[in-house]
């Protein structure tokens, strides 16, 4: 809506996990490097965890791009509310296994053949499961068993489990300790620091055609960080709404008053503001934590 008004080539604050807009914060950089290292060194299981909206799926999309360039076979399962049968069927579709996709036995035979064939070509294969915190125990157990497939060179299937922090808690459960022991690499994503929030916003605007952004003055950037708690998805929502407001008011820059209005529209809650309104639509501030210990970042 406001693209032409600001001379932008595309919407800078889209909510899709698009690697084209990747902001390489040190922790996102490290998480991606770990995922790639884990796959390349055939480590077996890798876990990626992070709060809602911190960039897990975006990291997986970046990994997917990397795997494409390396011509590595992979399956990407993004719907994790599955029965074991549905899980096998989805995996068979995504690996494009030519077998009876309703039969677990045929799927396992075909998968094994694919993994061995890839290994003979010096390549590995990867299973990526997003939203893994939702997986049922019996599906997690099947995934653990898939991790047993190996030859002398290492694991034949690299398995990446990505999910919200409940995933870590789930993996701590006594009945999953066998799976937990197999996770050789763990990475986590935290909210952005104040300076990263600024870099993040600048990067997304620059990618859309506005180098040296002029829309958000420093005091607004500071407040955006505070109100978003450094969570990329919330930063996107706030910035998008601010750009719409600027456009509607025919103004070139965002102000604190606009931010106040946008925060009310989005029913945002942030540390120091919790007494002023009811529950937020976008994640309540954790009432258990004192303000100072909220994960605002490292700055």
- Quote the least distance from Cβ 111 to ligand ATP, whole Å: 26
- Quote the least distance from Cβ 54 to Mg ion, whole Å: 9
- Quote the least distance from Cβ 287 to ligand ATP, whole Å: 21
Tokens 């709060």 locate to 51
- Quote the least distance from Cβ 74 to ligand ATP, whole Å: 18
- Quote the least distance from Cβ 53 to ligand ATP, whole Å: 5
The verdict on 57 binding Mg ion (CB under 5 A) reads yes
Q: Which residues bind ligand ATP (CB under 6 A)?
A: 15-18, 21-23, 25, 28, 50, 52-58, 164, 232-233, 236
- Quote the least distance from Cβ 90 to ligand ATP, whole Å: 18
Q: Which does 28 bind (CB under 5 to 8 A by kind): Mg ion, ligand ATP, none?
A: ligand ATP
- Quote the least distance from Cβ 75 to Mg ion, whole Å: 17
State the residue number with the nearest CB to ligand ATP: 55
Report the b/e string of 31-67 with b at 16+ CB within 10 A. bbebbeebbeebbbbbbbbbbebbbbbbbbbbbeebb
Nearer to ligand ATP, 18 or 85 (CB): 18
Q: Which does 52 bind (CB under 5 to 8 A by kind): Mg ion, ligand ATP, none?
A: ligand ATP
Cα angle, residue 15 at apex, residues 11 and 20 outer, rounded to 5° = 65
Nearer to Mg ion, 57 or 118 (CB): 57
Tokens 């605002």 locate to 296
Residues touching Mg ion, count (CB under 5 A): 2
Bridge partners (DSSP) listed for residue 186: 47
Nearer to ligand ATP, 95 or 200 (CB): 200
Nearer to ligand ATP, 136 or 202 (CB): 202
Report the b/e string of 10-29 with b at 16+ CB within 10 A. ebbbeeebeeebbbebebbe
CA–CA dist 274, 95 (Å, integer):
47
Binding mask 8-47 for Mg ion (x = CB under 5 A): ----------------------------------------
Nearer to ligand ATP, 25 or 197 (CB): 25
Q: Which does 54 bind (CB under 5 to 8 A by kind): Mg ion, ligand ATP, none?
A: ligand ATP
Nearer to ligand ATP, 23 or 74 (CB): 23
What angle separates helix 218-228 from helix 256-265, to the nearest 10 degrees? 20
Stretch that binds Mg ion, among 54-62, 67-75, 97-105, 205-213 (CB under 5 A): 54-62
- Quote the least distance from Cβ 107 to ligand ATP, whole Å: 27
Looking only at the bridges linking them, the beta strands covering 154-155 and 150-151 are: antiparallel
The verdict on 134 binding Mg ion (CB under 5 A) reads no
Question: Can you give the binding site for Mg ion, defined by CB under 5 A?
Answer: 56-57
């Amino acid at each position: 809506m406001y693209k032409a008004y600001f001379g932008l080539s595309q919407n800078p604050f889209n909510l899709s996990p698009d690697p084209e807009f990747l902001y390489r914060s040190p922790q996102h950089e490290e998480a991606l490097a770990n995922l790639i290292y884990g796959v390349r060194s055939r480590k077996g299981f890798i876990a990626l965890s992070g709060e809602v909206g911190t960039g897990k799926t975006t990291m997986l999309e970046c990994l997917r791009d990397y795997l494409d360039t390396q011509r590595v076979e992979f399956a990407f399962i993004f719907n994790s509310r599955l029965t074991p049968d549905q899980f096998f069927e989805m995996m068979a579709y995504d690996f494009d296994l030519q077998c009876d996709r309703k039969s677990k036995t045929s799927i396992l035979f075909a998968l094994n053949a694919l993994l061995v064939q890839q290994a003979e070509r010096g390549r590995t294969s990867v299973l990526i499961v997003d939203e893994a915190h939702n997986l049922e125990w019996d599906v997690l157990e099947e995934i653990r068993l898939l991790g047993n497939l190996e030859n002398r060179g290492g694991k034949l299937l690299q398995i990446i489990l990505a999910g919200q922090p409940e995933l870590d808690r789930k993996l701590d459960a006594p009945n999953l300790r066998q799976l937990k022991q197999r996770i050789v690499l763990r990475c986590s994503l935290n909210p952005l620091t104040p300076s990263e929030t600024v870099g993040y916003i600048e990067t997304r605007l620059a990618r859309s055609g506005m180098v040296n952004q002029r829309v958000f003055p420093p005091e607004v950037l500071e407040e955006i960080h505070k109100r978003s708690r450094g969570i990329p998805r919330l930063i996107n929502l706030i910035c998008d709404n601010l750009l719409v407001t600027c456009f509607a008011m025919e103004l070139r820059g965002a102000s604190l008053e606009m931010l106040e209005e946008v925060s009310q529209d989005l029913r945002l809650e942030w540390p120091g503001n919790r007494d002023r309104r009811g529950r937020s639509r976008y994640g309540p501030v954790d009432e258990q934590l004192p303000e100072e210990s909220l994960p605002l970042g490292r700055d």
